[in-house]
Structure 1
Amino acid sequence: MVTYRTGGESVVAGLKAHGLTTVFGLPGVQNDWLYNAFYDAGDDFRIIHTRHEQGAGFMALGATMATGLPSVCNVVPGPGVLNAGAALATAYGLNAKLFFLTGQVPQKMIGRELGTLHEVPDQPGLLRSLSKHYDRVTHPAEAGTKVADAVRALNTGRPRPVTLEVPMDVLAMRAPVPEESPVATEPDELIDAEGIDSAVSVLAGAANPMIFVANGAQDVSAEVTALAELLQAPVVGYRTGRGIVDSRHPLSCFLPEAKPLWAETDVVIALGGSARSALQGWGRGARTLIRIDADQTVHGRYGQPDVAITGRLESHLPVLLDALRAKGVRGPDRTERMGRVHAAWRERSAVLDQQIAYLSVIREALGDDGVFVDELTQIGFASRIVMPVHRPRTFLSTGYMGTLGYGFPTALGAKVAKPDTRVLSVTGDGGFLFAATELATAVQHGIGLVTVLFNNSQYGNVQQMQRDLYGGRVIATDLVNPDFERFVTSFGAGYALAESPAALAPALDAAFASPGPTVIEVPVGDMVSVDRFR
């Protein structure tokens, strides 16, 4: 059966068929016929229109990081793509399921450098470099299939952004198309039985194994915890691995906390991540390395693994656990040993008492399930190594990309995706102003995010390095800020001032009780740097 649709209608039908009905984006002339189709779809879609393309990209990033489900960002070509490029790059670094849907100039104008509105040289080349899958729709009849292909790529192998480009003339073109949009299915995954057997043989003889987890393990929290308990192996999560094992579990370790255990570790188990911090920073030595990762190209990085299993953890960890139990593998109880490790870390990290005081208040206010979004600021850096995290996908980090200013818009997207969950963004005054105008988006769409703004009128981390490492050559890091109370309230958002951890607690209670966005300003001076723990 066929029907007649525009290219825009065909794309929208494809998105709807896959449940991708929340779109973060901005309309523009190259996407007019896409937004006409969104309009005609009525309540089937929720369009969160932002004040800048970077906001759309980061909000889509936050939505997928908080849920593990695909999310959609839509922008115009050229400047729109470039404005959202930092979010696309960050999503690539974070292995995020971001569906990047972009317009393009008319087909006959592509690549001709005729000065067509929003034309840039080789937009496909740029998008291919930041996506695991790129395609272009050239006729309405193929739109549904190409949406399905993109979704299949999102859900197969290593998660990373996918890009679909639709020229403006294709969006407007009306043509016969299949009545039903195809729906992507996931292929059955083969289990590497030989790899499992090899891993079991290694682990059966391990005296002191250590497990490293990253975002590839976010959806196997129960299985990772069970593996740790079976082997009595410490589990280390840094940045994207926080919360996979509850920080209250005796075997859960912050990254620097685990470093003293490295000398006695004989087997390293890397699950859904590279374990780069340890293997590159601490040195591999004679340790046996087991990797389970959806991306086979990871295996040879930071040292060739002794056992390399390519596949999803969701499929392979249950099989590994069953095989270990069948063989009777069980490590000796390490509760007492880990208690000493945790006590030593509390003593060492006490130098970060100012950050810990604020983070403790935030942790209490969020509860176990609240979502915390870090930022490139001293509070954010400290949170990675001292803040307890109790659930997977509740600690969102920029990872190795280190994208200053990502936190506030990313947290807005997380709150859109999880409206009934407490979501909190910590930010500095420098990073906040990268995307602070998205307060208008938050107010307009009723996004009840709570933001704690630590204000020291500096790009504080950079200035601290200028003073400590470069003989006091302070340049381009002092900031003149707006009156944040007047700035925030001018958008119609809530504002509070908290000048101490004790004052922050009631301010957070009031902010979380409000249906709209709230910014809590915390004036601070210099804080002790976390760099000493690298």
Structure 2
Amino acid sequence: MSKKETTGQALTRSLVAHGVDTVFGIPGAHMYDFNDALYGARDKVRFIHTRHEQGAGYMAYGYAKSTGLIGAYTVVPGPGVLNSGAALCTAYGANAPVLCITGNIMSHLIGQGRGQLHELPDQLATMRGITKTAERINHPSEAGPVMAEVVGKMLSGRQGPGAVEAPWDVFGQSGPEVDLPLGTRAPHPAVNADQITAAAALISGAENPMIMVGGGAVDAGADIATLAKLLQSPVTSHRSGKGIVPDDHPNYLNFVAAYEYWKKTDVLIGIGSRLELQFMRWKWLPKDLKIIRIDIDPTEMVRLKPGVGIVADAKAGTQALIDALAGFRREDRTGEFADLNKDARSRFSEVQPQLAYLDAIRQALPRDGFLVEEVSQMGFTARFAFPVYGARQYVTCGYQDNLGFGFNTALGAKVANPDKAVVSISGDGGFMFGVQELATAVQHKINVVAIVFNNSAYGNVLRDQKQAYQGRYLGSDLTNPDFVALAKSFGIRAFKVASPGELKDTIEKALSLEEPVLIEVPVEKGSETSPWPFIHPAPHAE
């Protein structure tokens, strides 16, 4: 007689087979049979329970974004899915393989509108709107195939989040234990030799090419550095591309410096990038600019049509371009790039106190440590003023720019990288979105160093209301707890510092403690210099 297992057990076995070793989440009635299956596999899968569903989603995001592996979480249907929806939006925008596992109401009641516990009018449609793929398991026999399908789609091409749901009654149904299929990545698109030839011709005729890298190039850093050295072109990045080519590489240009070079750029080579920096933030194009794009997503070539579009994996496409340019020679221009970086640093050194504090963090954080940004005055400034030396080491929320992602995401990054330093930077406003996860950090011994810059405001809103709305302040002023006392009430070691030097010393001490730590940095309300003139510079006058 064949061995039997429940849908929940088959789903758990499939997670293990796909390399998932951690699931974040909160148990609930619809999920009990799946939760029990996770208990049965606790020697293979760590379960980290959180204090809010959004926290579970963001921890899975931090796990995925810092490793490139699947970050999995489980929540109840309806409000649980919706509470974690911001994390799925972030994962979609930042191309992270986050897997949501949830339930649904009893199978025979789906779509009936009877008002069942946690019922949504069409949960599957809701999840499909904020993921790359979402499917339902209707019967134990579908558990393996559905999981394989969803995982395969998540990991293929342009990666993204996925979701799997099963009705309440299906999770506990039994069926024969069978071999489970594995989801596999679809083959990368073949590099089109004609497009490579066309790109090489454009580059050969260029005097001032520029390479722009995004998150899609995360595994191609060494190849991109080789291309840049071959062309003697600069490489720049915005958020998700930070660290792919290290900031201290001779060909890397900080994007404030890159804006000056942009004024004479004649060929822009985008690799794994939406080119948001150039087209949405710099907002003007040099005369007669030619654009080459290497991207695994063919729809990118429609969204922003280049002169030459190479649909390929970033690594394969870049290597093909290097091969086509064999024998190309150009005199060394790295001295010019160094001068541009030095000049940019001199100009943005006025962005205080942010720059001094970010310098202190960089000095204290090991070279291979992770910084998780947050939507805040420090976070915005970090995008151009915080050097990063390795891919995935700067964890960003991408274009969603949503408050509250930072600390929760940092917890997931630390779970995935227990032997690396992980520091999160948050404003007081964003930190309060996920403050309850201090309890998760203590209970599960997740040793993140959380730095809270407390200016008693939603700082960007405050500045905009002051400058553009003549001081008609609405909802930008914040009354906060004593963050140090609050952290201590959770059992968290906490410190308050008043200077960059004190922050550096305190981070070094915090990292040596190997326990969760909170550091509060008071900042005078409205005192920060705006970083935005360096992110959205004034248009260049010809």
* Shorter-normalised TM range: over 0.9
Superposition pairs of residues 115-194 of structure 1, within 5 angstroms = 115-178=115-178, 180-189=179-188, 190-194=190-194
Q: Distance in 2 between matches of 1:370 and 1:470?
A: 40
Q: Distance in 1 between matches of 2:3 and 2:202?
A: 59
Are the structure 2 counterparts of residues 226 and 153 from structure 1 closer, same or farther at C-alpha, using a change threshold of 3 Å? Answer: same
Are the structure 2 counterparts of residues 323 and 492 from structure 1 closer, same or farther at C-alpha, using a change threshold of 3 Å? Answer: same
Q: Which residue in the other structure is 1:217 paired with? A: 217
Matched, 1:423 2:425: no
Counterpart amino acid of 2:135? D
Q: Distance in 1 between matches of 2:2 and 2:152?
A: 23
Superposition pairs of residues 379-398 of structure 1, within 5 angstroms = 379-398=378-397
Q: Which residue in the other structure is 1:288 paired with? A: 290
- State which drifts further: 193-202 or 292-301: 193-202
Counterpart amino acid of 1:323? A
Q: Distance in 1 between matches of 2:420 and 2:339?
A: 35
Superposition pairs of residues 25-424 of structure 1, within 5 angstroms = 25-178=25-178, 180-189=179-188, 190-280=190-280, 281-284=282-285, 285-302=287-304, 304-325=305-326, 328-424=327-423
User: TM (normalized to structure 1)?
Assistant: 0.97
Q: Distance in 1 between matches of 2:424 and 2:312?
A: 33
Q: Distance in 2 between matches of 1:191 and 1:249?
A: 28
C-alpha contact (below 8 Å) 1:290/1:305 kept by paired residues: yes
Give the secondary-structure state (helix, strand or coil) at the position aligned to 1:413. Answer: helix
Give the secondary-structure state (helix, strand or coil) at the position aligned to 1:30. Answer: helix
Q: Distance in 1 between matches of 2:448 and 2:174?
A: 41
Q: Which residue in the other structure is 2:520 paired with? A: 521
C-alpha contact (below 8 Å) 2:212/2:237 kept by paired residues: yes
Q: Distance in 2 between matches of 1:119 and 1:226?
A: 54
Q: Distance in 2 between matches of 1:226 and 1:139?
A: 51
Q: Distance in 2 between matches of 1:274 and 1:491?
A: 41
- State which drifts further: 352-361 or 230-239: 352-361
Q: Which residue in the other structure is 2:8 paired with? A: 8
Counterpart amino acid of 1:119? E
Q: Deviations over 1:170-211 (max 9, x none)?
A: 101011241x22122334332322222222222122211101
User: TM (normalized to structure 2)?
Assistant: 0.96
Q: Distance in 2 between matches of 1:188 and 1:95?
A: 18
Q: Distance in 2 between matches of 1:412 and 1:442?
A: 7
Q: Distance in 2 between matches of 1:209 and 1:261?
A: 9
Task: Report the aligned-residue RMSD.
Answer: 1.3
Q: Deviations over 1:508-532 (max 9, x none)?
A: 1111012221000111112101112
Q: Deviations over 1:32-75 (max 9, x none)?
A: 00011011113111001100000000000011111111110111
Are the structure 2 counterparts of residues 132 and 2 from structure 1 closer, same or farther at C-alpha, using a change threshold of 3 Å? Answer: farther
Counterpart amino acid of 2:293? R
C-alpha contact (below 8 Å) 2:466/2:472 kept by paired residues: yes
Q: Distance in 2 between matches of 1:297 and 1:528?
A: 39
Q: Deviations over 1:101-156 (max 9, x none)?
A: 11111111111110110001111111111111111111111111111111111221
Q: Distance in 1 between matches of 2:8 and 2:458?
A: 43
Q: Distance in 2 between matches of 1:13 and 1:423?
A: 30
Q: Distance in 2 between matches of 1:33 and 1:264?
A: 62
Give the secondary-structure state (helix, strand or coil) at the position aligned to 2:3. Answer: strand
Counterpart amino acid of 1:404? L
Q: Distance in 2 between matches of 1:11 and 1:74?
A: 12
Q: Deviations over 1:460-481 (max 9, x none)?
A: 1111111111101112111111
Gaps of 5+ in 1: none
Matched, 1:500 2:494: no
Q: Distance in 1 between matches of 2:108 and 2:143?
A: 18
Q: Distance in 1 between matches of 2:312 and 2:146?
A: 25
Instruction: Give the superposition deviation at 1:216.
Output: 0.5
Counterpart amino acid of 1:128? R
Q: Distance in 2 between matches of 1:255 and 1:531?
A: 13
Give the secondary-structure state (helix, strand or coil) at the position aligned to 2:145. Answer: helix
Q: Distance in 2 between matches of 1:339 and 1:89?
A: 38
Q: Distance in 2 between matches of 1:340 and 1:2?
A: 71
- State which drifts further: 316-325 or 365-374: 316-325
C-alpha contact (below 8 Å) 2:254/2:341 kept by paired residues: no
Between structures 1 and 2, the one with greater helix share: 1
Counterpart amino acid of 2:266? D
Counterpart amino acid of 1:292? I
